[in-house]
Structure 1
Amino acid sequence: MSTFDWNPNRYNLITILGPTAGGKTSVATHLAYAIGGEVISGDSRQLYRGMDLGTGKDLHDYVVDGKQIPHHLIDIANAGYKFNVYEYQTHFLNAYSDIVSRGVTPILCGGSGLYIEAAIRGYRLIEVPENPELRAELATKSHEELEQMLASMKKLHNHTDTDTRKRLVRAIEIELHYANAPAKDYEYPELNNIIFGVRFPRLQQRQRITDRLRQRLTEGMIDEVKQLLESGVKPDDLMYYGLEYKWLTQYILGDITHEEMFNGLNTAIHQFAKRQMTWFRRMERNGLTIHWIDGNFTMDEKLEFVFHTLKNYKE
């Protein structure tokens, strides 16, 4: 295990991001072990209890050399609840403030570009309540009409907004509310943040995604979704979370075969990883520097890259 003479005064936040199945959680936890840091999840679905295999929580990665690595924003809401970016940002700020108040360095780790940017850029967000009148009006429109309506309001970077009708309605509700209500003023802490990314070559990344899907299915991902349904979470609410929960719910309900589920889900995860990288490249174009780590490095090599960059990088 590499060690590092860490000066917490230079950076008050370290971010580690990357596409799914890239190994970023392991890098974050090993780094936290080396510098005495704590991890804040930057994943939009790991917030939910009971959604472990389907969200790739990799909880075993939070134990390094027998030590439990402190982590935040994992398992803080019940499955079926619909977290939004405003709520995530609020929880991030609470976790961040708690960690730095104890003289410890937070390490933000995840693959949800929108949530990560909301945290590190300090977007001024406002809470958006449900609008029953609007929802009644939107109920008369087709999925295609709703998608066209949302596309007229914003560029659809995040395609999960259009995965289900519920997501579309909520996204429209948020956009209309933002258009008619000013964001509330508040002071965001000054983040002296440095960003690392973990990635593999494209073809290798694709194989890792497929292999990881097979592994999670073997480990009981189907049973996990069955248990969520049996606990009372409605199928539509599970499918709201997209990807694994959308395809596995359809399979469990008998709407599709196992082969259709596997092939469709595998393709969907590949497409999701591609969108993640598109988001990260846009972050770079918009002025954020991401120091990319070769996923094929050993863990010691990855940490040495991080330590060298922390020591020598000049903004």
Structure 2
Amino acid sequence: MDIFLSYCWKDDEIANKIYDYFKKNHSITLHRDKIDIKNWGSIKEYMQSLNDMEYIILIISENYLKSSNCMYEVLETIRDRKYRNKIFPVVLDKGIYNPINKAKYVRYWENEFNELKNAIDGINTQNLGNLSNDLKHYQNIASNISDFIDTVADMNNPLVDGIEEAIEQVLYDREILVAKKDDNKCEKSVNILPTVSSEPTDLEIDTYVNQCYKSGRILLKQKCHEIEKNNPMIKVKIEDVDTRNTIYHFYKNGQTTRKIKYSLGSMFGGNDSIMISNNPISSNSYNGMYQVQYRDGKIGLKTMMGFGSNGLMSVEEMVEQIWKEYIELYLRY
């Protein structure tokens, strides 16, 4: 799968972070100008390759919206009438949601157009070269930037922190990554409790619970697909609120029979627990909690509320318990 990374070089830091994250996934090729364009290669030809990409990540900032090259990539993107379904906006400048700031960007490109128009006024047509094309380019940006910003502002864009995981989750939800063999291997391996030589640090615990949360979300989705396949009366709607909260809506013969929220959080703030709630609307109501515990050289999950034994659990065992105690029981009748 080919993904194009569209960004301004002034926003290199977040571009590096996203590129490094997806570079580890060998089924994804992330195209980036600094990597793909060789010395003396054609920049415009590279930007036109957008049409061949399956998805596009756009790092949107003030620098981006005032860059001629970046806006050329936007104009290439919006040529596809269904472009909204193939873009992942990463919004660094929340000010674009303000109509006044949106108007400022339109005015900026109108000024760029007028300045260039005045500069070339009086030059013989045969001597203009590509300057007339540059003028048309500025006019196209001024004409389209407001609609483009409206489209981005209408999307429920997640926070920049954790944006890589949010993009990855969408690819899982669209079943682009789920069917890979490596994922099946991952599903079997999560049932093994990791062995550690000493009591884990806070950083190791945070890293482990994040991995458990993401693996659990994949496993829950697989179980939802499985029950839909085996029971045509049941349909499941999976709503990814953000990178730390997913709501599962279960319908039987079209009627709601169960809702649960699967979250990464804590009763006291932070992200040290996996939480289950029967009331997805409430942010403070939880019926189940799984925390990381260290015992006899191994780390695993321990249920702190609801059902289950006092022993350490693997991710797969946690998901099986969640399914049995919080979901399956309510789908039988």
What's the TM-score once normalised by structure 2's chain length?
0.25
CA radius of gyration, larger in: 2
Higher relative contact order (CA 8 A, sep 6+): 1
